A = this chain, B = another copy of it.
């Protein structure tokens, strides 16, 4: 397995051996690019993302960089700044070997809003999810400390109400402006929002209070600065809760995909079967197999 060796020299070559086939998506505003290619005959996706500008190294950055004047007009001047590499990192993510699913995930696609009734969930979505048997092995690795154990910020080991809190992959933890953590529950029997009933209220309130406490302790970010929510559809079917800075325009925090934990808790308190019966709207990409199911059923 050419991708399997985690040692530094070969990790270098994993990227330097990467042959570009095509650009999957280019987010100029966020300075992210998704590239499809090959590493020694294996499909791979490489994601490059420029990192946020670090406040703690700003003085050093300004003092130690080279500047080239571009435009000068009245009180405004623009420059190209050439920074020392260690002050201007590019976050690189490699998925290798990448499946067709990975490639599709990153490819830019048209988006539709689907309204899924409780019945649609049981007749269309649940059979589809089950048939796909999405792997959550990487989640189990985290819960069992087989991977990323050193990244865990907080853990409540209770099998029913417990969870593991750790930084999301997308967050480099260098600044709290884009704070992003995930709470992953220890229970393995809750796929998503749709499975939640009032039975899960102790779990949800525990995640909220202990998650907020841990973040306040670790990062000095108070609860009033946090957006705490679930995704529907989630990107993996093992219950997890997102904690992001309310000032950060986090991907996936728009109203059509995110559900505030405080709303979820109140809705379940009022009606245990709220998420069983309600129509839930969510966005779907044109290439999503589930969208095809909804189209075949005449629901879109």
A114 and B224 contacting across the interface, CB-CB below 8 Å: yes
B90 and A15 contacting across the interface, CB-CB below 8 Å: no
Q: A31-B53, A248-B28 are in contact. Are A78 and B169 (CB under 8 A)?
A: yes
User: Would you call A216 an interface residue if the criterion is a C-beta within 8 Å of the partner chain's C-beta atoms?
Assistant: no
A246 and B113 contacting across the interface, CB-CB below 8 Å: yes
User: Would you call A92 an interface residue if the criterion is a C-beta within 8 Å of the partner chain's C-beta atoms?
Assistant: yes
User: Would you call A84 an interface residue if the criterion is a C-beta within 8 Å of the partner chain's C-beta atoms?
Assistant: yes
A258: min CB distance to chain B, Å: 4
Nearest CB in chain B to that of A23: its residue: B55
B266 and A3 contacting across the interface, CB-CB below 8 Å: no
| Residue of A69, A142, A227, A259 most packed against chain B (CB within 10 A) | A69
B255 and A26 contacting across the interface, CB-CB below 8 Å: no
Which chain A residues numbered 242 to 262 have a C-beta less than 8 Å away from chain B? 246-250, 253-260, 262
- Interface flags for A112-127 (1: CB within 8 Å of B; 0: not) read 1111000000000000
Give me the interface of A with B, judged by CB distance under 8 Å.
3, 6, 8, 11-12, 14-16, 18, 20, 23, 26-33, 35, 46, 48, 50-53, 55, 58-59, 61-63, 65-69, 71-86, 88-98, 102, 108, 110-115, 137-138, 141-142, 147-148, 151, 169, 175, 177-178, 223-227, 229, 246-250, 253-260, 262-263, 266, 270-271, 278-279, 281, 283, 300
Q: List 20 A-B contacts (CB under 8 A).
A: A26-B52, A26-B55, A26-B175, A31-B31, A32-B53, A50-B53, A66-B85, A73-B147, A74-B141, A76-B138, A79-B91, A80-B89, A84-B85, A112-B225, A113-B225, A246-B256, A254-B255, A254-B258, A262-B281, A263-B281
